[in-house]
Structure 1
Amino acid sequence: MSTRTFVSALLLAALVALTARESVAKPLTVASDFEGASVRVLDINQDARSIAFMPGGDPSRGWPCWWYFRIEGIAPGETVTLRLQGSIAAIGNRKPLSASWAMPARATWSDDGEIWHQTDKGERDGDWMVYTVRAKGESVYVAWGPPFTPATARTLVDRLSEASPHATAEELCRSRDGRSVPMLCVSEGDRPSSQRFGVWVQARQHAWESGSSWVARGFAEWLLSDDPQATWLRQHAEISIVPVMDVDNTASGNGGKNALPHDHNRDWSDQPHWNEVAAAQENVRSLIEQGRMDVFLDLHNPAPGDPTFFYVLPRELLREQAADLRDRFIELAYGEISSIRPMVPMSNTPKVTGPRYHPLWKQISSNWVAMNGNPHTVSLCLETIWNSQRSTPAGYRGVGAALAAAVSRFLAEQPAR
């Protein structure tokens, strides 16, 4: 190598190093000025390239466990450290929410806000949970779980209705804050409504439980697929799907669970506080009056590490026919969901939501429908685990597809309308 070539190589290497240093030296910043975002930044250490934070959110609008924000100022390929602490926000003399609700084993991240991945497993450091994220570009989205906002719900409903002649995009209602609540209605063929099974599927009565909306998406996508079971279900039933019930807290990044005066899933009374609940009740009552409230599914995510799938009323509180049909549906659903590979962690023992579960147990949606429905009504709450390596968009959608297949198999066993 000539002296000139050697000097040129040194200059080029120095320039590359200088450019890299200048790129890394850009200050890290946090943005949360978009739908669904929530964060309280505690510290940004520019030297360590780390961000300390806790969930944002108003505790009067639900448990402050949801977090979602964008980090900017990253050098492409740089690793950033996230240091998460549980929220200290509380109402009155109540204790702050346990930090475990805000600390998934793996955080969720995305380069573009569309395709979501999991980080490596976080590490506990005293009161902190520590994650690392390596971004491809100059910014990265990070979140408690894969976000699914009201805008995501609207996009999903519109996309599916445009792609299929059997689906119609509708609006359940307007929320108390004036937001649209998207709903997808599905049926195929000329069979009269009176001869169709009634199926109602709703998700996200608790805003932070984002995985439930992905389950609803998987249900809807399977329903509009070419699977023969899906075709049969479309031809024999009317199916309504609401991907996000609590649109206001989902949009504002609040937790929703235990919001004041009570959350959506404690609001199923004769005088509901929330517009979404009142509108859902009106639709469900109509199906009951027509004698065809066949399957009601309320989708949630459970406590940290809880693999329970179904929450049910005690058998003695149900009519015998409804209890027998419910048990058969659970059997089919467990069979379909457990066939997913790799398998989503699940328990085959439902939890009971009777009088000892909560003071407002009668106002829980699946309980209300079960107690007020037809003799053959199957009404269930499905809780899909959020704190596992399979708690991803793909994992959740797989659960939704399996659940929809179980609905089809179950209704195919019932007497024709």
Structure 2
Amino acid sequence: MPGGDPERGWPCWWYLRVDGLAQNERLTLDLAGSNLPARNNGKSTGKPLAAYWAMPERATFSTDGKTWRHTAPGKRDDGRIRYEITGDGGPLWIAWGPPFTPRDTDDLLAFAAKTLPAARPFDLARTREGRPVRGLCVSEATNAAPPGIWIHARQHAWESGSSWVARGLVEWLVSADADAQWLRQHAELFIVPIMDVDNVATGNGGKEANPRDHNRDWDDQPVYPEVAAAQKQLRAFIKAGRCDIFLDLHNPGPGDPTFFYTLDNALLKEPMITQRDRFIQFAYGRISKIKPLIPMSNQPKTTGASYHPLWRNISANWGCMNGNPHTVSLCLETIWNYQNCTTEGYRAVGKNLGLAIADFQRGKLAAK
């Protein structure tokens, strides 16, 4: 069953290494859900997390710790699931989904800086346990105050697919693609691939951590230094009137497609509603056309008072309530429990999210 401390988030993430398998020897991984009481809505439920959160239809495995593939669909029986993998004579890594660790962030930022001089790695903050939270700033704008765009992933540590979406966005953004070049010349972009670095590093789930998780921490007294540091940068954008886009990247429930979470219209004013809806249309137009298919809904869900007791402290909601009148502040949930949700599929979502940002920003500029 998954490890992890329920006080540090949902115990649904798992990741292990197996040594000693012979060439063509078959391994069966027999998995049950955690039996520890989990937290939800800011308090202990007194009962275990539903096992399906820990049981993707297909597990992920690697023979080199770098290239990740899906297993065949697991076989479910009496509340458990069994995955079968064939060894190649060397070590075998098996995980809930493709891992993305702080070392992967370092590698991604080094690649970006080597590829594009205008890509500048930065340290956002040090976590409560002393680990660096790192990100990338990219801009070739000649305007002294270009539109500001902030994108971060992995406020919930178990949602590893969101970091792969961020990787795909970065890889596209620093490329020679004409739309990527245009966006770099007309905006200043900040991307943070992992916000909850401590729980990623320790293998905990992060979501519903005690006293609250990163995506319930966006008030005037954040628990997490990295949230406070992100707020500081966003407030600088807002003060300058240039907070154009704020995106929070996640993975949803096991049966959900890709979709956006939004704040209820009753709590928003124009032009924020119109700008948000335009952006969602651009994103759906790009992501829904990815081949192989990444299922996406064009109907957002809302995160108002009925969603969570700390709904005001959700980052995308904070962006709406504190941003400029034109700010687009959204949470993108990328499907994970699906055959095409591989590292390649996630990276394609990131690339197409970048293209949607360029489409949206170009349209705004043309309207002026």
Task: Extract structure 1 runs of 4+ deviating beyond 2 A.
Answer: none
Aligned length: 362
Give how far 1:192 is off. Answer: 3.0
CA distance in 2, matches of 1:262, 1:361: 12
Report the more deviating stretch, 150-159 or 357-366.
150-159
Q: Is the 8 A contact 2:128 2:224 kept in 1?
A: yes
Where does 1:247-286 land on structure 2 (aligned, <5 Å)? 247-286=197-236
Q: Measure how far apart 1:391 and its partner are.
A: 1.1
Matches within 5 A, 1:15-414: 54-90=1-37, 94-189=46-141, 191-194=142-145, 196-414=146-364
- Assess if the C-alpha contact under 8 Å between 1:308 and 1:351 holds in 2: no
The one-letter amino acid paired with 2:64 is D
The CA distance in 2 between the partners of 1:86 and 1:356, in whole Å, is 28
2:41: which partner in 1? none
Q: Gaps (5+ residues) in structure 2? A: 39-43
What letter is aligned with 2:204?
Answer: N
Q: Is the 8 A contact 1:272 1:278 kept in 2?
A: yes
Give the whole-Å Cα distance in 2 for the aligned partners of 1:204 and 1:83.
27
Instruction: Note the C-alpha offset of 1:138.
Output: 2.5
Contact 1:249–1:255 (CA under 8 A) maintained in structure 2: yes
* Aligned partner letter, 1:89: L
Identity of aligned residues (%): 58
Q: For 1:349 and 1:409, how far apart are their aligned partners in 2?
A: 20
Tell me, in whole angstroms, the C-alpha distance in 1 between the residues paired with 2:97 and 2:177: 29
Superposition deviation, residue 93 in structure 1: 5.8
> How big is the shift at 1:155?
1.2
Aligned residue identity for 1:348: N
State the 1:390 CA deviation: 1.1
Letter paired with 2:160: S
Please say which structure displays the higher CA radius of gyration: 1
Measured against aligned partners, the alpha-carbon deviations of 1:42-100 in whole angstroms (never above 9, x if no partner) come to xxxxxxxxxxxx00000000000000010111112211000000001125662110000
CA distance in 1, matches of 2:336, 2:365: 36
1:18 alignment partner in structure 2: none
DSSP 3-state at the match of 2:336: coil
The 1:211/1:93 distance shift into structure 2, 3 A limit, reads closer
CA deviation profile, 1:206-257 (whole Å, cap 9, x unmatched): 0000000000001111111111111110001000000000000000000000
Give the deviation of 1:315 after TM superposition: 1.2
Aligned AA (1:355): A
5+ long unaligned stretches in structure 1 = 1-53
